[in-house]
């Protein structure tokens, strides 16, 4: 992926009618129906807060908030300026574990742990090697609903 900033949305591979979105400062995959849904499902991929070789996900409608993992949950937070926040909000975008041309998002401070949906909520989980895990961690990166 190129390092230019771009507005993006993230479509689930195994639930293609659902996209990553934040709601109540937590993350889910949900169908996108309203303008608010579109805003909550649009992000700017920016150079990683901890390492510019990787990426961070900045919210479009809360531009000072970033996707980060905390206690293995995926949350929307503002930076507290700590090294831990920068690491928790930086991900390596790798070829999709499901191998269908999508992408998976690996934590840089928890190698081998990926953003995964389970019961439609997003978590940071370690790979168990199963086909379900591979599908649950693979997303298509599409043009953001909000540009």
Residue 78 near residue 64, CB atoms below 8 Å: yes
pLDDT tens digits, residue range 82-110?
A: 999 999 999 999 999 998 789 999 999 99
Please tell me whether residue 131 adopts helix, strand or coil conformation.
Answer: helix
Place of tokens 């503002």: 78
The pLDDT, as a whole number, for residue 99 is 81
- CATH code at 6-143: 2.80.10.50
The pLDDT, as a whole number, for residue 6 is 77
The pTM score is: 0.94
Residue 54 near residue 87, CB atoms below 8 Å: no
CA–CA separation, 76 vs 17, rounded Å? 22
Residues in the chain with pLDDT values less than 70: 1-5
Q: At 85, which helix (H) or strand (E)?
A: helix 83-88
Residue 30 near residue 77, CB atoms below 8 Å: no
**What are the domain boundaries of the chain?**
6-143
């Amino acid at each position: 992926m190129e390092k230019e900033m771009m507005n993006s949305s993230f479509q689930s591979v195994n639930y293609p009618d659902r996209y990553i979105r934040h709601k109540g400062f937590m993350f889910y995959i949900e169908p996108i129906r309203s303008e608010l849904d579109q805003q909550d499902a649009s992000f700017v991929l920016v150079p990683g807060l901890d390492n510019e070789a990787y990426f961070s996900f900045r919210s479009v409608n809360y531009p000072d908030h970033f996707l980060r993992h905390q206690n293995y949950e995926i949350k929307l937070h503002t930076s507290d300026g700590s090294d831990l926040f920068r690491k928790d909000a930086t991900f390596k975008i790798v070829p999709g574990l499901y191998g269908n041309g999508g992408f998976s998002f690996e934590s840089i401070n928890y190698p081998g742990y990926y953003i995964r949906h389970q019961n439609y909520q997003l978590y940071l989980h370690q790979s168990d090697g199963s086909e379900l895990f591979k599908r649950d961690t693979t997303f298509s990166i599409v043009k953001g609903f909000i540009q």
